[in-house]
A = this chain, B = another copy of it.
Amino acid sequence: MFQTYVGPVQDASAIAYLRPETAQAIFAQFKNVLETSRQKMPFGVAQVGKAFRNEVTPRNYTFRSREFEQMELEFFIKPDEAVEAICGRAAMADEAFGIPPSGGSEPAKAGTPNPQPNWGWEAWHKYWVEQRIAFYEGIGLPRNTLVEYWQKPEELAHYARATVDILFKFPFGTQELEGIAARSDFDLSQHERCSGKPMGVFDEELRAAWGKLDEARKVELSKRYYEARLKYLTKTGVAPESAEKEAREDAEGLGKGQYIPHVIEPSAGVDRLILALICNAYHEDQMPDEKGKMETRVVLKFHPRVAPIKVAVLPLLKNKPELVKKALEVRDRLRPHLNVYYDDAGAIGRRYRRQDEAGTPFCVTIDFDTLGEKPELKDTVTMRYRDDGKQERLAIGELLDWLLPKIH
């Protein structure tokens, strides 16, 4: 980690470190968020920001760097024992996702169902894997450029019940974009142990449901919760006697509606995602130049959602004040709502190419028909598409309603 000193004196009491990940603040603030924003399980807290790791050997450019941008979601869920007490049983991933029971054919790709109260950790984990893949697809990374890798039991971190890596097929090899881990109640338990501040929640629904369980069920759920807690405590080095006592108290707490939430954590690198978006967008193709002769074109085919410039507004000619005036009007109409680039320098074909290189999905050209040279085309513009160079005519008044759904 990067070490520094807070204040004028550089002694041991002044040592501080730059955060090596964004997640910890979420755990440290978990109870504050829970209480001030009136949340109930399950809910999530997301954060994006810089993280710093003082790597001895930074390499692979953006894949092991000392400063990077990270985005993490901590999604807090009830332990399965609580779900079972409330709903009778906890739905596993195959049930929640409508996949036929094992023994059937290939597991069906079922889209993402709406979350249900009876979901156990496995269903929630699968849900976030699907949501994250849908996110990547939604910003333009095709499904066949992504790899979903389920870590094998022997690869899992000791606190993880399951971890899925999402990888992207970079031109120079397949590399990880994100990990989605089911981390049990490890994180909040550790924060509770080390800070001495309680991280458990009280769940009224669980307390009410528990009272209606028969005795055998209570014993069974308590026993399982006891064993899970004991396993955690033992692994983290608590002496056997204290661990047993603490786990017993935790199991008693469950019956009163108390537990430490479990966590599903999607954790992604932003810099490498940007690199993936650029690699995926980069194309060289053939397109006719001004005189109809084919030439090689460099084009960044960004999804409109992530294109830095959404639309370019171009008067056909720079030296016709009516065209420029109208083009500036169109620019000013669009600019409050999306990122617009205005360009009047050079031949129109050259300006299209500039926008192709910048990845701008839409170009709007103001020409003499816009001004009414053909009366039926007055106040319409040419909409030119980056990917295939095709053009169509659109009314200025409709432009915004036409553009906004494509970039949102």
Contacts and interface: CB of A to CB of B under 8 A. Distances in A.
Interface string A116-140: 0000000000000000000000000
A88 B369 CA distance: 38
Nearest to A50: B50
Given A336-B408, A408-B336, A66 B18 contact: no
Interface string A40-70: 0000000000100010100000000010000
A275 to B, nearest CB: 18
Interface stretch (A4-12, A165-173, A175-183, A381-389): A4-12
A3 B4 CA distance: 6
Copies of this chain, complex-wide, total 2
A282 interface: no
Given A336-B408, A408-B336, A5 B3 contact: yes
A4 B4 contact: yes
Interface string A1-28: 0111111100000000010000000000
A7 B336 contact: no
A56 B8 contact: yes
Given A336-B408, A408-B336, A54 B2 contact: no
Nearest to A343: B38
Contacts of A336: 408
A347 to B, nearest CB: 15
Contacts of A56: 7-8
Given A3-B5, A38-B345, 9 more contacts: A2-B5, A2-B6, A5-B54, A7-B56, A8-B54, A38-B343, A50-B50, A336-B408, A337-B408
